[in-house]
Amino acid sequence: MRIKRIAVLTGGGDCPGLNAVIRAVAKMAMGEGGEVIGIEDGYEGLVTGRMRKLENRDVSGILTLGGTILGTSNIANPYRYAVEGKGCKITFRDYHKRAIDNFKKLKADALVAIGGDGTLSTAYRLNRDGIPVVGVPKTIDNDIVGTDVTFGFDTAVSIATEGIDRIHTTAQSHHRVMIVEVMGRTAGWIALHSGVAGGGDIILIPEIPYDVNVVVKKIKERHGRGKRFSIIVVAEGSKPKGGDVVVQRVVKESTEAVRLGGIGFVLGNQIEKMTFIETRTVVMGHLQRGGSPTPFDRVLATQLGTTAMELIDKGAFGHMVGVRNNEFVKVPLKEVADGKRLVPKDHPLVISARAVGTCFGDR
């Protein structure tokens, strides 16, 4: 291996499997006689200079550990860094040169940036401005362009599915409509996969705007057949036809200021008023991000980490490791920064779900 000193950071929301990537990168580098520098709290640490050398003991026993031993931030962005001024007023400054200077002080040969579309978009800009970067895709939302799958997604789907499974018993016992709201931002991958796996009667995703009248009709049809309960799985970014998303809060200092959430409660109130059936909403929320990664995510994260090191050794900077057709490929970071990977309306899983009677609220 030509590269002797590697820096690594984890940015964006926490995600099961992050530690598995850190472990793979560090162990592969150390095994070749290299050094690894961990940057703390994502780009926050790169701007402020919070970094530490990782030893073998730091990365041993972390394969099954959720979260990230380096810490993370879904706010810090070197190009739009939030600074608190007088009267607690937030202003934004461009500190990317400070981040580059701190990286140069490390005398590192490369930076491994592990994160979602926001982290990788910033990685693209930093690479363009002089830092040799290789990206590793991470998000429970599975919405990164250039890869068929991201680590963290399988774990999130497993947790959401378990939640749906548990909801079934109380729904049946009380003859209720139960709504399970899951994460995903503007992509419906988690809702689609967990909804199908959990036997959701109605699945609502952002890519297919719904009509509440169609949803109510499905519920009434089920009741007419003697099925006195219904399970609805809704992605947080879902919206009615001609309507808009439900915003939980706005975090001005964040690169992605709008935080979605609450669609389940809005929908639940509508359904209860229109059907007179008791309706309850459960928000899975950050439960989907926590805990130990599934075996699939541990394996995928390990392979992504070692493949990222191979790209570094080849000097393939400005790229992300992606998975396409079950093969690991290099994807230009510019491509990743250009958009989101959403669920096609004719996706095979959507077609299969419709075939077994699942309603998507559109017809």
State the Cα–Cα distance between residues 310 and 329, nearest whole angstrom: 11
Residue that is last in its domain, among 288, 323, 347: 288
Same domain, 18 and 147: yes
Residue that is last in its domain, among 266, 288, 310: 288
Of the residues 41, 117, 141, 143, only one is catalytic, namely 141
Same domain, 69 and 195: no
pLDDT for position 259: 76
Residue 74 CA to its chain's centroid (Å): 11
pLDDT for position 249: 75
Element (H, E) at 194: helix 189-197
State the Cα–Cα distance between residues 246 and 241, nearest whole angstrom: 13
Residue 347 lies in a domain: no
Could you report the per-residue pLDDT of 276-289, keeping only the tens digit for each? 999 999 999 889 99
Same domain, 212 and 274: yes
Question: Could you confirm whether 211 is annotated as catalytic?
Answer: no
Residue 353 lies in a domain: no
Same domain, 12 and 136: yes
pLDDT for position 257: 64
Specify which residues 180 forms β-bridges with. 233, 282
pLDDT for position 83: 86
25 class by beta-carbon count within 10 Å (0-12 exposed, 13-18 middle, 19+ buried):
buried
State the Cα–Cα distance between residues 198 and 21, nearest whole angstrom: 29
Same domain, 116 and 163: no
Residue 363 lies in a domain: no
Low-confidence spans in the chain with pLDDT less than 70: 1, 251-257
Could you report the per-residue pLDDT of 319-354, keeping only the tens digit for each? 999 999 999 999 999 999 878 999 999 999 999 999
pLDDT for position 337: 86
Per DSSP, the residues of 22-38 read HHHHHHHHHHTT-EEEE
| Host domain of residue 297 | 5-151+293-337
**pTM for the complete prediction?**
0.93
Same domain, 181 and 303: no
Same domain, 130 and 26: yes
pLDDT for position 260: 85
Q: How many domains does the chain have?
A: 2
Per DSSP, the residues of 135-176 read EEEB-TT--BTT-S--BTHHHHHHHHHHHHHHHHHHHHHHT-
